[in-house]
Amino acid sequence: MKAALPLRLALMANAIFSFSSALFMLFCPAVVGEWLGIQAPLIFQVVGIGLVAFAAELIYQATRKRVTTWRALLASAADFSWVAGSIVLLLAFPQLFSPLGNALILAVAGAVFVFGAWQLWAAGRAHRIEDSGEYRHCIIVETNAPAEKMWRVVGNIGDIKNYMPSLKRSVVLDGKVPGLGAVRACEDRAGKQWAEECTAFNPGHSFAVRFLSEAPNFPFPAKTMRGGWEVTPSDVGSQVMVWWELTPKSKLLAPVILPLLAFQADRDFPKIIQRMTTAAMGENGEGKMQSSGGVFARLLPNLC
């Protein structure tokens, strides 16, 4: 995906810098000590080992088929923590390092800050829709339930509370059946309430909704928000795609909001879809007969 390329580059650049720094600390601790004006080879080597692990995580993320933006957000948090720690160290112990050491620590902190900011910007960029003010996150979960059975559960939009433990209530208003124009009202266990209007309904295949973000006390930080579900057949049963598209209330917060949305979706929705799969297969054990692994739902690395 072209949108993820800046994030891959940022992660790889940070990994190269971190790994290079680690090599100096691991194999040339005396030289590092001379630069800093303090000899602490064991501490330098311990920090070097940590940097190797950090660089390995960055390389792993940069080379995955599907970049995980919330893990990039964690990497940026680690970078900013390094910067903050460096500043606190220099302020708390102004005489601990030589003038060259102080300058070196500040230079490294500056470079680390650039990498953290680059990754943060690129994480938001990875979700941004081209030529649009909207941002998107999408997941695909494969299950061993046949598509037609899976749709009977997914398409019954008012029953989502049965599979999502965080929801206290979900109902289609005015007694309408699921379909175009139907409005689903939801309330989570924290008391947050919102409604979604069905804007497209393709029986047996997909539906889309518009979150009524103009309503008072809309609980999500978005000016506009849409989403949808799609069920398609696969070799083992079916694939369920779930997507969200939104315009954040503040675009400056997009690099944080979208990775956090991605984290929650990647963590929760495979479990939600697994519960749906169990319901779709019924209580007669059909899922276990069809697959030695039983009923399953697994997050795929596919981009969507």
| Digitized pLDDT (tens) for each residue of the chain, 304 residues in all | 578 999 999 999 999 999 999 999 999 999 999 999 999 999 999 999 999 999 999 999 999 999 999 999 999 999 999 999 999 999 999 899 999 999 999 999 999 999 999 999 999 999 999 888 899 999 999 999 999 999 999 999 999 999 999 999 999 999 899 999 999 999 999 999 999 999 999 999 999 999 999 999 999 999 999 999 999 999 999 999 999 999 999 989 999 999 999 999 999 999 999 999 999 998 544 444 344 458 899 999 988 8
Domain count, the chain: 2
176 with 160, same domain? yes
How does DSSP classify residue 184? E
184 with 285, same domain? yes
Q: Which of 111, 127, 143 is the last residue of a domain?
A: 127
Q: Which of 79, 111, 127 is the last residue of a domain?
A: 127
Q: Do 259 and 7 touch, CB atoms closer than 8 A? A: no
Per the domain annotation, does 260 fall within a domain? yes
287 with 199, same domain? yes
103 with 28, same domain? yes
> What does the pLDDT look like over 102-149, one tens digit per residue?
999 999 999 999 999 999 999 999 999 988 889 999 999 999 999 999
Neighbours of 113 (CB within 10 A): 17
Rounded to a whole number of angstroms, the CA Rg of the chain reads: 24
Distance CA(154)–CA(231), nearest Å, equals: 8
274 with 241, same domain? yes
103 with 144, same domain? no
209 with 103, same domain? no
Per the domain annotation, does 151 fall within a domain? yes
Per the domain annotation, does 304 fall within a domain? no
Distance CA(207)–CA(184), nearest Å, equals: 12
- Report CA-CA distances (Å) from 130 to 32, 76, 133: 45, 24, 8
How does DSSP classify residue 163? T
* Sheet of strand 222-233, all strands in order from the earlier edge strand to the far edge: 167-172, 183-188, 193-202, 206-211, 222-233, 238-248, 135-143, 297-299
pTM: 0.87
Beta strands in 128-253 (DSSP E): 135-143, 167-172, 183-188, 193-202, 206-211, 222-233, 238-248
The boundaries of the domain holding residue 112 are 2-127
180 with 285, same domain? yes
**CA 169 to chain CA centroid, nearest Å:** 26
Give the CATH number for residue 152.
3.30.530.20
